[in-house]
Amino acid sequence: MNKVRVILEKALEKGNGILGLKPAWVTRDFLPPGRRLGLKEEEYAAGERGYICERWFASVTHAENRINIEDEGYSYLDIEGENIHLKDACAAAGDLIMGAEYAKAHKDLDRLLKIYDFRCRIFFHLHQMDKDAKKVGMNSKEESYYFLEADPGPHPETFFGVHPYIVDNNLQEDIFLPYLKNWNGDDTMLAHARAYMNIPGEGFHLPCGILHAPGTALTMELQESSDIMSVFQAKIGDLPIDKELLTRLLPEEEVARDAEMAALNIVDWEANGDPYFYENHHIVPVMIGETASPDGWEEWIYYNTTRFSGKRLTLKPGKKIACKEKGVFNIFVWKGSASVDGNDVIAGDLGLDYCRDELLVTREKALQGFTIENTGSCDLVLFKFFGPDINLDIPMLPKYKR
């Protein structure tokens, strides 16, 4: 740890308080890849592990896959001649990266940004609430979606929750338990949910315990640091889903006692049956007036929670914008090129073990402030993302009730 700290001190001095990161690619073996992550065609296949279907950013989270790879999911620092992943860096020098006070309250960055990329709809599933995740030694996984401008795929709509009448009449066991017991169904389970279009530039905020089947739009998701889930759908088209995914991350004693009911017991049925689900979860960019000008502007795109937050920055060619934030954050460049306080970044220049579009900005540098300059010939579009308890004054959606 002392050696890691010394290396980090030198790297931070060289980068003016900013660190480069290598890409973290994650494979999945249960759904086909969309091949929209910018890799070469032959680079997506990963043998019996499946295909690269996700890219994780500034990740301190381990990917939970059938074939366990010790460091899958973790981001590595881009320091020549070194092999240090971000989780170890936070352990060795959390005060340098996150600030001393924040590091005392948070063991690491406590959030994860990812882009997921599937050619079919993701199965109907949920992420366990705090109380249920803790039973298996994991974090909960509240999350938010932002739909990127890209090929939307064949099914660009996401199913959320269940029809309100199901919960109003306490029919959830009657309707869903037979699906889980038989485990030979198909997409007809989704007839009991409602679907919403994946509109580029918009998204949804999704607390834990809510059933959902994400569509095929290329989706950038910001979430708590976890890879926990319980899968409720046995089949997607002709693709069978292993029933192990229903109960694999549930307490063994509860599964032994309650069988498939153990999964139904972790659903937040009130939230799933909300008749104003769209109004209470749909998020669109919110302009940040304090930093807006004709040359560049910022918008909140991840909000409605203090567990994480995120912005989209747009900057015209040849222009500069002052950047100052309240804590450690990360940058992902989606379009164009820029100089971030002397660190050159460019979208789309990446491979399996390198990229030039991802940075980590330490708390000290964020509070001190710096300049971002668009060095390209098109609009620069980049995203900033933050962990818990940094932006406490972000917008909140109004609450619609019956």
Q: What is the pLDDT of residue 185?
A: 78
Please give, one letter per residue, the 3-state secondary structure of the chain. CHHHHHHHHHHHHHCCCEEEECCEEEEECCCCECCCCCCCHHHCECHHHCEEEEEEECCCCCCCCCCCCCCCCCCEECCCCCCCEHHHHHHHHHHHHHCHHHHHHCCCCCEEEEEECECCCCCCEECCCHHHHHHHCCCCCCEEEEECCCCCCCCCEEEECCCHHHHHCCCHHHHHHHHHHHCCCCHHHHHHCEEEECCCCCEEEECCCCCEECCCCCEEEEEECCCCCEECCCEECCEECCCHHHHCCCCHHHHHHHCCHHHHCCCCHHHHCCCCHHHHHEECCEECHHHCCCCEEEEEEECCCCCCEEEEEEECCCCEEEECCCCCEEEEEEECEEEECCEEEECCCECCCCECCEEEECHHHHHHCEEEEECCCCCEEEEEEECCCCCCCCCCCCCCCC
User: Which pLDDT score, from 0 to 100, does residue 361 have?
Assistant: 98
Which domains can be identified in the chain, with CATH numbers?
24-74+109-283 (2.60.120.10), 286-386 (2.60.120.10)
Residue 285 has a pLDDT of 98
pLDDT tens over the chain, length 402 residues: 889 999 999 999 999 999 999 999 999 998 899 999 999 999 999 999 999 999 999 999 999 998 999 999 999 999 999 999 999 999 999 999 999 999 999 989 999 999 999 999 999 999 999 999 999 999 999 999 999 999 999 999 999 999 999 999 999 999 999 999 999 877 899 999 999 999 999 999 999 999 999 999 999 999 999 999 999 999 988 889 999 999 999 999 999 999 999 999 999 999 999 999 999 999 999 999 998 999 999 999 999 999 999 999 999 999 999 999 999 999 999 999 999 999 999 999 999 999 999 999 999 999 999 999 999 999 999 999 999 999 999 999 999 998
Q: What is the pLDDT of residue 313?
A: 98
